[in-house]
Structure 1
């Protein structure tokens, strides 16, 4: 037995990162599939001509936009989850609890996604979606924070950056939810908020830049 094997931390039965990844991936896959189920399907009358089909697609464009939005937001959570689990040597009970919270909210996300798909300009629907995703990001941040605090990840500095990114994104979504709810005099904001979420990559990039400026020694 090598010295590396001798110092390897024991993994409690049922708490290996691999098992958590497999189960989490299954939940994410189901949630992403449920997003597609909510897309409106054309009926026979909508297929009688190209004009009728084009009219149907335009009338239900919001459900297609909601599907794409929900899919890529869930995909982003899944990818960040993979990165964290690849750095985790083992899991802890607290990590398992926060992971369960992440999965509950991921599985619930198709419901508010369907609401904005059928009511794209509805400020309450947009707010519920934004708050749900913000809560999901908050649980994601706590999962990463717990992993760092309990000392079970390699490269904890990178994971701390991940915590900051999750918190900043959660704040971004909460701000859009508040803006929509308190801007009743400007109904167009109900439509603008989902399009504003396209700026997420810019928010992430800016967060990385600020973090590296404040922590020049960070990897």
Structure 2
């Protein structure tokens, strides 16, 4: 596949992400009739399902964070090839799986398998984003004229993938830490600023 305009790919990707974000909340909507049928108090919809609500909010933040990174990347892209297209499709697959993984971890919060499945889904997503960043950075034909990648951008992107992998290893070593191991995601941006303190964000220079 030769380089093609990325607009349709971006529109399709945005649509899939939007649907996935919407699907995240659907299991929570089923809680209301369950509480009503049990003649419970309205507050029990919240207090009785804190794990599900927590996993929903976490997944919303994770998908939103990764979409922002994806959006920033494709702002610099002038075209795509087969490798970039296929990697983007795998990235979308991980986004589509996220609502399922979220429901799993919300229902079995302390289960090692569900935690690893959840973190593994995020690892695939982050890994694909790292691969796409490297593909675009290494092929000038895919970049818009005047686009600029910084070392901080690359460090932060790959560092996020490393942090998620570290979170998975941490769960294997200490299962009780659960998906709270994803707090490691806070580390790469801080380290990136320390290593590259004066590096601006990647931009498309005006023509």
TM-score (norm 1): 0.78
RMSD: 2.4
Residue 159 of structure 2 corresponds to residue 175 of structure 1? no
Given the superposition, is the C-alpha separation of residues 48 and 125 from structure 1 closer, same or farther in structure 2, using an over 3 Å criterion? closer
Q: Give the whole-Å Cα distance in 1 for the aligned partners of 2:183 and 2:92.
A: 23
The within-5 A match list for 1:68-217 is: 68-151=57-140, 152-153=142-143, 154-158=146-150, 161-184=152-175, 187=176, 189-190=177-178, 193-194=179-180, 196-198=181-183, 200=185, 202-213=186-197
Given the superposition, is the C-alpha separation of residues 143 and 135 from structure 1 closer, same or farther in structure 2, using an over 3 Å criterion? same
Q: Which residue, 49, 59, 64 being the options, matches 1:60?
A: 49
Aligned to 1:38, what secondary structure does the other structure show?
helix
Q: Give the whole-Å Cα distance in 2 for the aligned partners of 1:23 and 1:45.
A: 37
Q: Following TM superposition, by how much is the alpha carbon of 1:47 offset from its aligned partner in structure 2, in angstroms?
A: 7.6
* Length, aligned pairs only: 195
Q: Following TM superposition, by how much is the alpha carbon of 1:198 offset from its aligned partner in structure 2, in angstroms?
A: 4.5
Give unmatched runs, 5+ long, in structure 1: 1-10
- In the TM superposition, what whole-angstrom CA distance separates every residue of 1:52-102 from its partner, at most 9, and x where no partner exists? 222342121111111111111111111111111111122222211111111
Give unmatched runs, 5+ long, in structure 2: 201-207
Q: Give the whole-Å Cα distance in 2 for the aligned partners of 1:44 and 1:128.
A: 27
The answer to whether the Cα contact below 8 Å between 2:91 and 2:129 also exists between their aligned partners in 1 is yes
Q: Give the whole-Å Cα distance in 2 for the aligned partners of 1:44 and 1:209.
A: 47
Aligned to 2:42, what secondary structure does the other structure show?
helix
Q: Following TM superposition, by how much is the alpha carbon of 1:178 offset from its aligned partner in structure 2, in angstroms?
A: 1.9
Residue 36 of structure 2 corresponds to residue 46 of structure 1? yes
TM-score (norm 2): 0.82
